[in-house]
Amino acid sequence: MSKFLNSEHLPFCKGCGHDQIAKHTAKALENMGLSPLDVIIVTDIGCHGIIDASMNTHTVHGLHGRSVALGAGIALGKKEKHKKIIVFIGDGGVTIGLQHLLEASRLNIDMTVIIHNNFLYGMTGGQTSGLTPTGFNTTTSPHGNTFNQYDICELVHKAGASYASRIIGIGDYSAKLEEAFRIEGCSIVEVFEVCTGYGVKFNPGRKLREVVEASGKTEQVWRNERPPFAAVFREKTASLLDELKTVSAIEPGPLSEPVRLIISGSAGEGVQSAASLLAKLAIETGYQVTLKGSYPVTVGVGFSTAEIIISPEEILYHGTTIPDMVIITSADGLKHNLKKIKNMKQGKLLIDASLEAPPTGAEVKYIDFRSHGDKLAVLVALLHFAKESKVVGIPEMKAAIQNSRGAEKILNLEI
Amino acid sequence: MEIESKVVLTDASRLIIEGLARAGADSFIGYPITPANLLYYYASKRFSFMMPAPDEITTMQWMSGLSASGRLPVTATSFPGFALMIESVNMAFMMELPMVIVLAQRLGPATGTATCGAQGDLSLLHGMISGGHQIPVICISDFYDAWTLAAEAVRTAVRLRTPVVLLTSKEMVMTHRSFNLSELENIKKVKVKEYNKEAPYKPYQPEKNLVPPFLHAGNDKHQVRITASTHDMSGILQHSTEEALANTIRLDKKSAENIEEFIHFDYFYEQKAETIVVTYGITAAAATEACEMADDERIKVSLLVAKTLLPVPKLYYDFLSRYKRVVFCEENLNAQFARIIYGDRLPSHVSHVGAIGKMISPEDILKALK
């Protein structure tokens, strides 16, 4: 008996092709001089999956259709590089998890996938799969499958697998499996067999070779000359904290109460970047800061709002129900903040001169933010914030924005 | 005069990823989804190994494979992605594979609003394992938690040999704050002890704490069998043998009986208070502020900021039983944490301050306390 198996009698129906796949796998591995613990067998849901208990290798048994992805994860993470990952999956599992085969092939992950193609979902009652040949009878297509079947070997070959092969599961094909096992990269083998439980019953008199040939397929090998994917675990990576610029705060500024500011304009016009510049300057000025961004999920379309709280003390809640100052640089920004502006009982609204302010208790100032260009509007707004709030100085604000694109055009503005 | 300082402007995503990495998480698999984008971006720079997956099912399968190989994988996602992961999370739970899933909540249902925060996924986490088993859910309530609880999530995953959910939300992971890095505590790398005895290894034979020792698949010494199906201690699929069902029962108890290993909360006890505010996550800041405002108005209120959310620590029940009135503050419509604790029909002394589409403000909470 093979050292890879713990029993001669495998748990399959009499005459089932799964039995031969398991035994030929064991024979091929033995022929390669491998030990059982050199191999990790990953199995899918389906009749083939119950082989685990009979294998002396490491075994991993997962979900229906997902074994290729699970095996890929093991291949990516394996610490002993010489270990061989072999995935067993049925044609039903391939239909469910086709993406996983294509992805493993595209990346050329170093493992072998053996597709037990018996033309139907066996364990669940003989239903048609995506690999059932046209015309083949199943419990859900008793008058013949009317759909086309995937050519899985062509698909994985096109996706980039190093190796693919079709085998008609008759006789000793262990040498063909061994060829696949020796490939460095992704090797995918499709073994045809007929399910003795449902395939034979619903297709009386049809023989395996005839079914395969009627579907236009023959035994064949495909190759792509590609290196396998090499998963590299970096020894050392830089701390994310080292990237942060430590702000040297001067003694706290004159604020005694928090200032809640909203800057709002159009996405793509630099609102969030400008808010970040202001936040850093406020920290340098000795204050605590929160910066909450709000924008639609699309990039570069619609509003972009930044809510900034600048406070002499710790800030807990970072939302802004009623702001002290609102700066609106575009119609998108105005639309998004109408309610908050209307609810203001005091404070200031700085709004682009092209827009009409809604009724509000805030002091309204119309300012031409946009005449220097859409992208500069929010930087002009920051200078006006410095002037109106006195939270930060205008020269300091100019220094903070001076490296922003186009800032040189506005640095000499009289504010 | 300049003051020496380590103050920076940062977001919580950066602290979470750095905390996870320092604790020993070594691989990140992800699919970019809002509002977990920053987590994904930082992970690509900081983790030893990072792979973008084509979808979230693949993500969780690759992570499970990495974990089975002895790695410590992490992902970050939001509800639409997490929903796709759930069958595979069940698999990893059943296989007892250490990993961390950072779940950044956003407004649902379905795709909802990707860039709007929420606290709407706790009910899902409570009920996501078939059989009602609980996996540890640890929730971040401020930037310090982003650091310490990220590391704690890794420790818990390893100690309990389980997937752990680190729960957060958009307004935590995408908001920037001034933050003093010198206040962060040192994070020690979690040591992963693998089974190294001579006796044959049984992957699901538990020790006294109900946790079986881990050994990675592919080692040279012992056969490792890992399975998602009902199994005996050897990892062999069984229908419903006594040993296999005992294993499933053990899994139900594992997290709850080890809760002391990962229980985290802040309990602010106010003498003579008859009301307690219970909150978690992004609402903790507003609740803390509301309690301070209440104090200014001579309203006595205690506060429980729950950080270990699932399984619900029994200690929370002890705290809550001391008060005539319990006010849950969570950013959802249906008081999800309250209903997990008390059941669908909330007792008359339990109320909820909730919101959708906006954060709950301190004023909202104070109003309920008056």
pLDDT tens-digit map of A250-276: 667 788 999 999 999 999 999 999 999
Q: What is the pLDDT of residues B9-21, one digit of tens each?
A: 999 999 999 999 9
Residues A103 and A155 in one domain: yes
CA distance A100 to chain B (A): 7
pLDDT for residue B255 = 97
Q: What local confidence, expressed as pLDDT, does residue A253 receive?
A: 75
Average pLDDT over residues B169-181: 97
Are B66 and A295 an interchain contact pair (Cβ–Cβ within 8 Å)?
no
Distance CA A116, CA A122 (A): 11
Using a CB-CB cut-off of 8 Å, the residues of chain A touching B7 are 246-247, 249, 283
A246 and A334 fall within a common domain: yes
Tell whether omega for the bond before B109 is within 30 degrees of 0, i.e. cis.
yes
User: Does A236 map to a domain?
Assistant: no
Domain assignment present for A212: yes
Question: Quick check: B61 and A248 CB within 8 A?
Answer: no
Distance from CA of A383 to the nearest CA of B (A): 21
Domains B1-262 and B265-369 are alike in CATH topology: yes
Please give, rounded to a whole number of angstroms, the shortest distance from the CA of B45 to a CA of chain A: 7
Rounded Cα distance, B264 and B254, in Å: 17
Question: Residue A169 falls within a domain, yes or no?
Answer: yes
DSSP A130: T
Dist. CA A199–CA A191, nearest whole Å: 15
What is the overall mean pLDDT for chain B? 97
Nearest C-alpha of chain B: how many angstroms from A118? 23
Compute the nearest-CA separation of A229 from chain B (Å): 12
Are A288 and B225 in contact (CB < 8 Å)?
no
d(CA A61, CA A121) in angstroms, rounded, equals 18
B283-295 residue pLDDT tens = 999 999 999 999 9
Among A223, A255, A281, the domain boundary falls at A223
Residue of A nearest to B141 (CA): A316
Is A246 in CB contact (< 8 Å) with chain B?
A: yes
What phi, psi does B327 have (nearest 5°)? Answer: -115, 110
According to the 3-state scheme, what is the secondary structure of chain B? CECCCCEEEEEHHHHHHHHHHHHCCCEEEECCCCCCHHHHHHHHHHCCEEEECCCHHHHHHHHHHHHHCCCCEEEEECHHHHHHHHHHHHHHHHHCCCEEEEEEECECCCCCECCCCCCCCHHHHHHCCCCCCCCCEEECCCHHHHHHHHHHHHHHHHHHCCEEEEEEEHHHHCCEEEEEHHHCCCCCCCCCCECCCCCCCCCCCCCCCCCCCECCCCCCCCCCEEECCCECCCCCECCCCHHHHHHHHHHHHHHHHCHHHCCCEEEECCCCCCEEEEECHHHHHHHHHHHHHHHHCCCCEEEEEECEEECCCHHHHHHHCCCCEEEEECCCCCCHHHHHHHCCCCCCCEEEECCCCCCCCHHHHHHHHC
Q: Does domain B265-369 have CATH number 3.40.50.300?
A: no
Residue of A nearest to B175 (CA): A292
Interchain proximity B174–A250, CB inside 8 Å:
no
- Collect all residues of chain A within an 8 Å Cβ-Cβ radius of residue B73: 77
What's the average model confidence in pLDDT over A132-138? 97
- pLDDT tens, A317-366? 999 989 999 999 999 999 999 999 999 999 999 999 999 999 999 999 99
Whether residues B49 and A74 touch (CB distance < 8 A) is answered with: no
Distances (CA, A) of B296 to A69, B283, B285: 57, 20, 17
Establish, for the pair of chains A and B, how many residue pairs have beta carbons separated by less than 8 Å. Answer: 240
Query: Are the C-beta atoms of residues A333 and A304 closer than 8 Å to each other?
Result: yes
Task: Give residue B5's pLDDT.
Answer: 66
**Residue carrying structure tokens 């980039």:** A160
Residue A231 lies in a domain: no
Domain boundary among A192, A223, A254: A223
Handedness of CA B283, A385, B35, B115 (dihedral sign): positive
Q: Which of A18, A39, A342, A52 is nearest to A191 (CA)?
A: A18
Give yes or no for a contact between B247 and B154, defined as CB atoms under 8 angstroms apart: no
Closest partner residue to A103 among B58, B216, B363, by Cβ?
B58
Q: Which of A58, A238, A245 sits opposite B223 (nearest CB)?
A: A58
Same domain, A42 and A70: yes
Is any Cβ of chain B less than 8 angstroms from the Cβ of A319?
Answer: yes
Query: Do A245 and A208 reside in the same domain of the chain?
Result: no
Question: Residues, chain B, total?
Answer: 370
Residue A9 in domain: no
What is the number of structural domains in chain A? 2
Question: Is B5 close to A244, i.e. CB distance below 8 A?
Answer: no
Average pLDDT score over residue span A74-91? 97
- pLDDT of A84 higher than 90: yes
- Report the sign of the C-alpha dihedral through residues B119, B124, B125, B126, in that order: positive
Check A72 against B51: CB less than 8 A apart.
no
Cβ–Cβ of B114/A297 closer than 8 Å?
A: yes
Specify which residues B104 forms β-bridges with: B168
Q: What is the DSSP letter of A349?
A: E
Q: What band does B101 get if pLDDT is binned at 50, 70 and 90?
A: very high
CA distance A290 to chain B (A): 4
The string of pLDDT tens digits covering residues A162-172 is 999 999 999 99
Q: In chain B, whose CA is at the least distance from the CA of A320?
A: B361
Mean pLDDT of A186-202: 96
- Tell whether A3 is covered by a domain: no
Rounded Cα distance, A314 and B91, in Å = 44
Residue positions counted in chain A: 415
Q: Domain with A161 in it: what CATH number?
A: 3.40.50.970
**Confidence at A296, pLDDT banded by 50, 70, 90:** confident
Which amino acid, residue A116? H
Question: What pLDDT does residue B1 have?
Answer: 44
Cβ distance of A61 and B237 shorter than 8 Å: yes
For residue A301, the model assigns a pLDDT of 83
Question: Taking each helix axis from N to C terminus, what angle separates A377-389 and A271-284, rounded to the nearest 10 degrees?
Answer: 30
Task: Indicate whether A250 and A368 sit together in one domain.
Answer: yes
Provide the Cα torsion A376, A379, A380, A384; round to 10°. Answer: 170
**Closest Cβ opposite residue A276 in set B26, B176, B359:** B176
Q: Is the pLDDT of residue B250 over 70?
A: yes
Contact yes or no for A5/A49 (Cβ under 8 A): no
> A90 and A197 share a domain?
yes
Question: Can you read off the two tokens belonging to residue A171?
Answer: 């006789």
Arithmetic mean of pLDDT, B175-184: 95
The residues in A 180-209 lying below 8 A from B, measured between CB atoms, are none
Q: Show me where the domains of chain B are located.
A: 1-262, 265-369
**Of B275 and A286, more confident:** B275
The residues with which B276 forms a beta bridge, in sequence order, are B302, B326
Question: In whole angstroms, what separates CA B253 from the centre of its chain?
Answer: 18
| A142 plus A266 within the same structural domain | no
Distance from CA of B280 to the nearest CA of A (A): 13
Q: Which residues of A touch B236 (CB under 8 A)?
A: 52-53
List CB contacts (< 8 A) between B95 and chain A.
Answer: 60, 62
Other C-beta atoms lying within 10 Å of the C-beta of residue B86: 17
Contact by Cβ (8 Å): B346, B335: yes
Residue of B nearest to A306 (CA): B175
Residue identified by tokens 């992704």 is A186
How many Å apart are CA A360 and CA A352, to the nearest integer?
16
Pair A250, A327 in one domain: yes
The pLDDT, as a whole number, for residue A414 is 84
Place of tokens 């005091």: A346
Q: How far is A50 from chain B (nearest CA, A)?
A: 8
Q: State pLDDT tens for residues B62-77.
A: 999 999 999 999 999 9
Which of A223, A254, A288 is at the close of a domain? A223
Q: Domain of A105?
A: 17-223
For A276, phi and psi rounded to 5 degrees? -65, -40
The predicted-structure confidence for B196-234, as pLDDT tens digits, reads as follows: 999 999 999 999 999 999 999 999 999 999 999 999 999
Instruction: Measure the CA–CA gap between A112 and A75, rounded to whole angstroms.
Output: 10
A199 and A286, same structural domain?
no
Return the closest-CA partner of residue A50 out of A97, A4, A13: A13
* Three-state DSSP class for residue A318: coil
The two structure tokens encoding residue A370: 């946009």
Residue among B178, B250, B153 at smallest CA distance from B208: B250
| Interchain CB contact of A340 with B (< 8 Å) | no
B49·A231 Cβ contact <8 A = yes
Contact A297 B113 (CB under 8 A): yes
Q: Is A304 on the interface with B (CB under 8 A)?
A: no
Mark whether A96 and A181 lie in a shared domain.
Answer: yes
Inter-residue long-range contacts of B292-297, CB under 8 Å, 24+ positions, other chains counted? B293/B362, B293/B366, B294/B366, B294/B369, B295/B270, B297/B366, B297/B370
Residue A29 pLDDT greater than 70, yes or no: yes
Question: Are A219 and A254 members of one domain?
Answer: no
CATH superfamily of B1-262: Thiamin diphosphate (ThDP)-binding fold, Pyr/PP domains (3.40.50.970)
Does the pLDDT at position B307 exceed 60? yes
pLDDT for position A359: 97
Is-contact B6 A232, C-beta < 8 A? no
Amino acid type, A320: T
Query: Do both A322 and A193 map to the same domain?
Result: no
Residues of A (69-128) whose Cβ lies below 8 Å from B: 69-80, 83, 99-100, 103
| pLDDT of the residue at B2 | 46
Domain containing residue A298: CATH number:
3.40.920.10
Q: Which of B78, B17, B16, B26 is nearest to B50 (CA)?
A: B26
How far B345 CA lies from chain A's nearest CA (Å)?
30
